[in-house]
Each structure stands twice: as structure tokens, then as C-alpha cells.
């Protein structure tokens, strides 16, 4: 237990030193922001003059010394306006001598005013010259000085010695700077002493603060109950990249969750639910013996991934010597910036948002990858969401609140909807608004999606990524894509990439929507089907049937059921295909179950399920 007096001393010294640290910081900041040229008095000061030849009729130094009636210590030559002069220094002080006659010169106020004006280039008018006693403005010069004040915006004062030498241009900026200089060095009288007792006492106080704080820390550590954190309770969490490179070793607490431990170290894994075990994004691979898979693991991960050691970090408990692989080096990712290039309403509640990143999108932005958009704290009103006139009735039916807000920064995942090389290097996202209307009841709109629906071209936002391992598998096997809702995004990007690169295998795309108004990119997919003989497009509506004039090639029902019926009719070899699924959770689960019944192995089914 530390003595009470030490705690009290630590608090008092901490307050005093802390206040002075604040003064040091603020004064240093102010001085660094001031214009150095103004502070030095250079703004209205003549910086250079043309050299003039010394007159031939001037007395020589020997002649001047011969005429001297008092000891001479030094002689220097110069000009007093257009008059050549010698400045002679002796035991009784310096004096000014006419270089031609050797007669002494005494400056008058009128002459000093002219001398000051010769050094000045500003717009001000000079006042009367004054002979002043030493002051703070002239503290670097011993003895009296001449001052001439000018009527400019900086209140410039020109100081000259009694021999007519220019000493300084002082102004308002210098006086402002000098005040903070006084605060900074804590010399409140002369403003020149770095070793004054106040400054030294603050240094000693800072050292005492550090030592007393160390003593308090040691005392506090001795009081802590280290059960679970002692030798038997300490453990390490080792992080590896997909290439097997060891990234970092973290000190961890047994029993804590991996997701929370990484977040506490500034390593934010992808997540839409904040570690709530509902989005399935925070996947890590356990190296070595993985713990038994939980219900959340089995809901979001395939049997193949589970068998390979993948687990959700949000319910993976740390144990002694746990080592995990972070997908794509998540722990080392940086925040990127982008601007909104365009916003396009594809349907009442699906929008294409095109982002122009500050740095060019590289090869890692492959089809199937997703970004984590950073949603900042914000306040938003209903009128900020704009929509085409023909969608007004859809939005009116939602009865959105007049305003809503978000108080905490969060992240939301969105897949690329187009290969970056086909989008002029831009990042194309497909965003479905979570408008909150369910079973005729209106709930608050989604925090992330409603924010994105309020974006306009030119707006800035941040993102992290790309992430994910949802990608087209190599090889010439037939490829079947099944999607719904915003799941269109990664599937469209994959299909466009395959078609552009000349893939020759058969490609099917089955897409489910509630109505024809809810289906994006229909015209584009029809055009691809006409252009590429190996591509077929199938649209399935679960709600109202399409109008007769548009119903050609469109069926009704559930997309996975209509696809299975068609495959059975044509005799599709399920085992010879690769399947790619993305869409609402119910559609995804039903489609995976159907494929499993047909004997399709897990490694032939790739899916993504968080963008519905």
C-alpha cells in the first residue's frame, strides 16, 4: 500500500506540471504558426544596399589615430546616409566621426528619422525620433537607443544605436511572439534566461512526477489479484499471414475472445455485426488442433472450411499458445479514401454506387472481393434520400421517420459489382437499403445503408479492403451462378470477368427477385445472353408475374426450385459443375441444401451470404 502523502504529492505535482505542459504546448504551437519573416522584422526592412566606393579624400586610419585625444580600441568605417563616417570605440564608449574632417558627429532627431526611413520599405509614415532608455524590446543592446515609430498595420518601430546603426525592426508580430516566448521559457522578467529557477523546478517536478507515478504503479500491481493471469494464466496469441509469415505475437488473457483481443490491439477484423456471431465475416484459421466447431461456425462456414480449421473469431476462445492465420493479412490493412463518382437507382431499393479511390485499384480488387465501408457518426433527415419520380410511391409506402442518427462509427461490407478494369479503375458497389418495413410495420432504416443512400457525387468516404475468398475457381468446368437481392453484385462481377477473358465453358446465371421492378441489370444480362453463346440468363420472380409483353424467358416461384427443375429436365450433371451462390440467407440455405441432396461436394460450392 503506497503512503497517502505520496499519492497527494503525485496529484499536486501532476497538476502543476500538467498545466505547464499545456502552456509549453500552446505557446510552442502559436510561435510555430506565426510568419517568421514578420517576427524577424523583415517584412518592411531594406535587405541589401549597393556597395559604394570609399571616398579618396577620407582621412586614413593612421591620420585619425594621430588626431585622437583619447585611447582607441577599434575603428570601423561606414556611411551615415551619404556621409562617410568612422565609428570609433574607446574606454568611454563609441563615438561617430566625420571621415573627411575627423570632427565628431552628434545625431539629431531629424537625422535619426531620415536614417530610419532609409531602412524602411513599408507604407507607414515615420513619427518623431525618440531617445529611449533600455526596455524589453531593446534588451539585447546595452545603453540608450533611438526609436522611430511608423504608422503601418504592424505598428513597426525602428531602433537605431546612438551611432546611427540599425538594430531592429520591432512590430506587432514580434511582440505577440515575444509574449509566448516568455511563457515558453518561463522567464517573466528578462525573457532571455533558459536556466531560470522556474524552468528548472518544472523539470525537477516532471522527474518527480514520473518517479512517484512509477511507485504508485508498482504498488497498484502488487494489489491486483492475478488469478488467471499468473504464470499458469499468461498466454500468447500468434498471428500468421496466409503465406505462413508470422506477423505478430500478442499477450492475451485465457478465456477471452479472439475478436475482442484483436480489436483491443487495433486490429479490426471484418464484421457487420460487431462480433455478434450473425454475419460470418470474422473468419480466422486455427493453426494446429482447432477447437470443436460451434453452432455459429456451422451456420456460416462450409464443412470444408471447418475441416481446414476455419472458425469465427467472435466465438473463438483463446487458450494457451493459440496460433491463427489472418485472411489476407487483415491485421496490417490501412484505411483508404475514395470519392463518390456516381449514384444510380437500379430499382426502388437497389442502388449502384461508383467510388473513385485516391490510389488506383490494383489486382487484389478481384471479382468476388468485398470492401468494408466506414460509416461515421452522422445525423440524417428523410429528405436527404433522393429518388427518381417513378419510385415515389415505393418510398412513400415506407413511412420513414423524419430524421435518424448514428452515434458510433461502424463498418459495412459490400461486394464489387464490376471488375475494376471494366469500370475505369473505379469500385462499383450494389447497395440495398434496409428500409425497415416488415410485415406492414415500419422500423428505423438501416444505419449503414441509409447513410449510403444519402451520398451524392463528390462526397468522400473511407474503406478498408478488399477482403474475402469468394472467387471463380480455375478450370473449364461448367459454372452455375445463383443469386438474389444485392447478391447480384459479386456474381455479376465474376460473370463479366469470365466473359471478357473469353471463357469457353458453359455459364448459367439464375437470379431471383420479388418483381421485375426489383431486378437490376436485366437488360445487360439479356444482351450478354445474345452476345455470348455459352451464357444463359434466367430470371425468376417470387412475387407478381411480369407483364405478358415482358414475360418471355421469365419464370415465377423460388429461384432454387425453378433452377433444379430445369436442370433435371435437361439432365444436368451436377457433379461436373462449380456453383456460386450469393443472396438472402433463406435462399442461400435452401440452395445449399438442395445441392447437398444432389451429391455436390462442398469444394464445388462457393458462397457469400452477408450482402443480402
Predicted confidence at residue 221, as pLDDT, reads: 65
Quote the pLDDT of residue 542: 87
- DSSP letter at 234 equals -
Model pLDDT for residues 569-601, shown as the tens digit of each residue: 999 999 999 999 998 888 998 999 999 999 998
- pLDDT, position 612: 40
For residues 75-97, average pLDDT: 89
- Of residues 441 and 587, more confidence is placed in 587
* Window from 2-6, 313-317, 366-370 with minimum mean pLDDT: 2-6
Which grid cell is 511?
Answer: 437470379
Q: What is the mean pLDDT of the chain?
A: 85
Task: Residue 413: name the closest of 452, 456, 454, 357 by CA.
Answer: 452
d(CA 461, CA 357): 9
Counted residue by residue, the chain has a size of 612
Q: How far apart are CA 148 and CA 133, in angstroms?
A: 14
Mean pLDDT of 481-508: 92
**pLDDT at site 330:** 57
Higher pLDDT, 230 or 501: 501
- How much is the pLDDT for 171? 95
Q: What H or E segment, with its residue span, contains residue 406?
A: strand 403-406
Residue 65 has pLDDT above 90, yes or no: no
Instruction: Select the more confidently predicted residue: 279 or 37.
Output: 37
**Pick from 370-374, 385-389, 395-399, 524-528: least confident:** 395-399
Q: Which residue has the higher pLDDT, 9 or 365?
A: 365
Res. 425: pLDDT tops 50: yes
CATH 2.40.30.10 assigned to 334-467: yes
CB contact at 8 A, 189 and 199: no
Task: Name the band, by pLDDT with cuts 50, 70 and 90, for residue 225.
Answer: very low
pLDDT tens-digit map of 499-535: 999 999 999 999 999 888 889 999 999 999 999 999 9
What share of the chain in percent tops pLDDT 70?
91
Q: In angstroms, rounded to a whole number, what is the distance separating the alpha carbons of residues 492 and 525?
A: 9
Q: What pLDDT is attached to residue 276?
A: 67
Residues 6+ apart with CB under 8 A from 218: none
- Average of pLDDT values for 280-305? 84
Residue 491: CA count within 13 A, CB half-sphere: 32
Question: What proportion of the chain, given as a percentage, has pLDDT over 90?
Answer: 37
- Whether residue 228 is predicted with pLDDT greater than 80 in this model: the reply is no
**What is the CB neighbour count within 10 angstroms for residue 386?**
11
C-alpha cell at 549: 409483353
Planar angle of CA 510, 533, 495, nearest 5 degrees: 45
For residue 203, what pLDDT is reported? 85
Instruction: Give 544's pLDDT tier (boundaries 50, 70, 90).
Output: confident
Domain with CATH 2.40.30.10 in the chain: 334-467
Q: Taking 60 as the threshold, does the pLDDT of residue 266 lie above it?
A: yes
Can the peptide bond before residue 132 be classed as cis, meaning omega within 30 degrees of 0?
Answer: no
pLDDT higher for 329 or 413? 413
Rounded CA separation 203/584 (Å): 64
- Where is pLDDT greater, at 596 or 300? 596
* Cα within 13 Å of Cα(541), Cβ side: 18
The yes-or-no verdict on residue 477 having pLDDT over 80 is yes
Question: Is residue 482 within 8 Å of 560, Cβ to Cβ?
Answer: yes
Distances (CA, A) of 1 to 9, 306, 321, 366: 15, 51, 34, 60
What is the CB-side half-sphere exposure of residue 450 using CA atoms within 13 A? 25
**Per residue in 138-171, is it b (16+ CB within 10 Å) or e — as a string?**
beeeeeebbbbbbebebebbbbbbbbbbbbbbbb
pLDDT one-digit tens code per residue, 279-289: 777 888 888 88
Where does residue 173 fall: left (phi above 0), alpha (psi -120 to 50 degrees), or beta otherwise? alpha
> Which residue intervals of the chain bear CATH 3.40.50.80?
478-608
Q: What is the mean pLDDT of residues 88-113?
A: 89
Separation CA 211–CA 207 (nearest Å): 6
Judge whether residue 120 has pLDDT over 90: yes
pLDDT at residue 115, as a whole number: 93
Retrieve residue 139's grid coordinates: 534588451
Q: What fold characterizes domain 478-608?
A: Rossmann fold (3.40.50)
pLDDT value at residue 232 = 47
Give me the pLDDT at residue 549, please. Answer: 59
**DSSP alpha helices (H): ranges in 224-327?**
258-264, 295-300, 303-307
The mean pLDDT value for 102-115 works out to 91
- Rg for the chain, CA atoms, rounded: 40
Confidence of residue 113 (pLDDT cuts 50, 70, 90): very high
Mean pLDDT value of segment 88-100: 88
CATH superfamily for domain 235-331: Beta-grasp domain (3.10.20.30)
Write the CB contacts of 503 (distance below 8 Å, at least 6 apart in sequence).
Answer: 476, 479, 534
Q: Residue 54 and residue 44: Cα distance in Å, rounded?
A: 28
Backbone angles phi, psi at 285, to 5 degrees: -110, 125
Tell me how far CA of residue 397 lies from CA of 348, 436, 437, 452, 469, in angstroms.
11, 11, 9, 20, 38
Residues 564 and 594: beta-carbon distance below 8 Å: yes
Confidence of residue 550 (pLDDT cuts 50, 70, 90): low
Asked if 526 and 550 touch (Cβ cutoff 8 Å), the reply is no
Lay out the sheet containing 104-105: strands in order across: 74-80, 83-90, 93-98, 104-105
Q: What is the pTM of this model?
A: 0.55
pLDDT of 130 > 90? The answer is yes
Please give the Cα distance from 525 to 346 (Å, whole number).
14
**CATH 3.10.20.30 intervals, the chain:** 235-331
Q: Do the beta carbons of residue 368 and residue 487 sit within 8 Å?
A: no
Kindly state the average pLDDT of the residues 381-409.
84
Question: What's residue 315's pLDDT?
Answer: 82
In the predicted model, is pLDDT for residue 223 greater than 70?
no
Please name the helix (run of DSSP H) or strand (run of DSSP E) that holds residue 246, with its range, or none: strand 246-252
Largest Cα separation within the chain, whole Å, is: 129
Task: Work out the average pLDDT over 364-393.
Answer: 87
Specify the pairing of strand 322-325 against strand 235-240.
Answer: parallel
pLDDT of residue 274: 64
Q: Determine how many CB atoms are found less than 10 A away from the CB of residue 560.
A: 25
**Tell me, what's the pLDDT at 3?**
60
Amino acid at each position: 500500500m503506497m503512503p497517502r502523502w505520496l499519492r497527494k504529492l503525485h496529484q499536486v505535482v501532476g497538476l502543476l506540471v500538467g498545466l505547464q505542459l499545456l502552456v509549453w504546448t500552446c505557446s510552442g504551437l502559436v510561435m510555430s504558426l506565426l510568419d517568421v519573416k514578420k517576427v524577424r522584422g523583415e517584412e518592411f526592412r531594406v535587405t541589401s544596399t549597393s556597395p559604394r566606393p570609399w571616398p579618396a579624400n577620407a582621412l586614413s586610419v593612421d591620420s585619425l589615430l594621430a588626431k585622437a585625444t583619447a585611447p582607441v580600441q577599434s575603428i570601423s568605417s561606414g556611411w551615415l546616409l551619404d556621409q562617410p563616417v568612422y565609428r570609433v570605440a574607446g574606454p568611454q564608449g563609441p563615438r561617430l566621426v566625420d571621415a573627411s574632417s575627423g570632427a565628431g558627429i552628434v545625431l539629431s532627431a531629424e537625422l535619426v528619422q531620415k536614417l530610419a526611413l532609409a531602412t524602411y520599405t513599408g507604407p507607414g509614415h515615420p513619427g518623431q525620433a525618440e531617445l529611449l532608455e533600455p526596455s524589453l524590446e531593446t534588451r539585447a543592446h546595452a545603453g540608450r537607443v533611438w526609436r522611430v515609430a511608423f504608422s503601418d498595420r504592424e505598428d513597426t518601430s525602428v531602433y537605431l544605436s546612438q551611432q546611427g546603426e540599425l538594430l531592429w525592426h520591432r512590430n506587432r508580430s514580434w511582440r505577440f511572439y515575444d509574449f509566448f516566448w516568455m511563457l515558453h521559457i518561463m522567464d517573466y522578467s528578462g525573457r532571455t534566461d533558459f536556466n531560470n529557477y522556474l524552468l528548472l523546478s518544472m523539470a525537477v517536478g516532471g522527474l518527480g512526477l514520473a518517479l512517484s507515478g512509477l511507485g504508485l504503479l508498482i504498488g497498484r500491481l502488487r494489489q491486483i489479484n492475478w488469478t488467471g493471469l499468473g504464470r499458469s494464466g499468461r498466454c500468447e496469441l500468434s498471428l500468421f499471414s496466409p503465406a505462413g509469415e508470422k506477423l505478430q505475437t500478442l499477450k492475451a488473457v485465457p478465456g477471452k475472445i479472439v475478436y475482442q483481443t484483436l480489436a483491443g490491439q487495433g486490429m479490426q477484423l471484418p464484421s457487420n455485426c460487431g462480433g455478434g456471431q450473425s454475419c460470418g465475416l470474422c473468419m480466422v484459421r486455427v493453426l494446429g488442433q482447432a477447437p470443436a466447431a460451434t453452432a455459429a461456425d456451422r451456420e456460416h462456414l462450409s464443412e470444408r472450411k471447418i475441416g481446414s480449421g476455419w472458425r469465427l473469431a467472435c466465438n473463438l476462445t483463446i487458450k494457451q499458445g493459440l496460433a491463427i492465420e489472418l485472411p489476407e493479412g487483415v491485421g496490417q490493412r490501412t484505411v483508404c479514401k475514395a470519392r463518390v463518382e456516381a449514384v444510380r437507382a437500379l430499382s426502388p431499393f437497389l442502388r449502384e454506387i461508383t467510388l473513385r479511390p485516391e490510389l488506383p485499384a490494383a489486382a487484389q480488387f478481384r471479382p468476388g472481393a468485398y470492401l468494408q465501408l466506414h460509416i461515421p457518426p452522422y445525423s440524417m433527415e428523410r429528405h436527404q434520400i433522393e429518388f427518381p419520380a417513378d419510385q415515389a410511391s415505393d418510398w412513400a409506402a415506407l413511412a420513414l421517420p423524419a430524421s435518424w442518427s448514428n452515434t458510433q462509427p461502424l463498418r459495412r461490407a459490400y461486394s464489387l459489382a464490376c471488375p475494376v478494369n471494366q469500370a475505369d479503375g473505379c469500385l462499383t458497389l450494389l447497395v440495398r437499403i434496409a428500409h425497415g418495413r416488415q410485415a406492414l410495420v415500419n422500423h428505423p432504416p438501416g444505419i449503414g445503408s441509409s447513410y449510403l443512400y444519402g451520398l451524392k457525387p463528390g462526397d468522400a468516404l473511407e474503406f478498408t479492403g478488399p477482403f474475402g475468398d469468394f472467387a471463380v475457381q480455375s478450370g473449364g468446368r461448367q459454372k452455375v451462378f445463383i443469386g438474389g437481392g444485392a447478391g447480384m453484385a459479386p456474381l455479376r462481377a465474376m460473370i463479366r470477368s469470365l466473359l471478357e477473358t473469353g471463357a469457353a465453358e458453359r455459364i448459367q446465371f439464375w437470379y431471383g427477385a420479388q418483381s421485375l421492378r426489383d431486378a437490376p441489370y436485366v437488360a445487360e444480362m439479356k444482351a450478354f445472353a445474345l452476345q455470348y453463346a455459352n451464357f444463359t440468363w434466367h430470371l425468376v420472380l417470387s412475387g407478381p408475374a411480369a407483364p405478358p409483353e415482358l414475360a418471355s424467358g421469365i419464370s415465377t416461384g423460388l429461384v432454387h426450385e425453378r433452377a433444379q427443375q430445369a436442370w433435371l429436365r435437361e439432365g444436368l450433371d451436377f457433379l461436373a459443375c462449380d456453383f456460386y451462390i450469393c443472396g438472402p440467407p433463406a435462399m442461400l440455405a435452401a440452395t445449399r441444401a438442395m445441392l447437398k441432396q444432389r451429391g455436390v461436394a462442398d469444394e464445388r460450392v462457393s458462397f457469400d451470404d452477408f450482402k443480402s
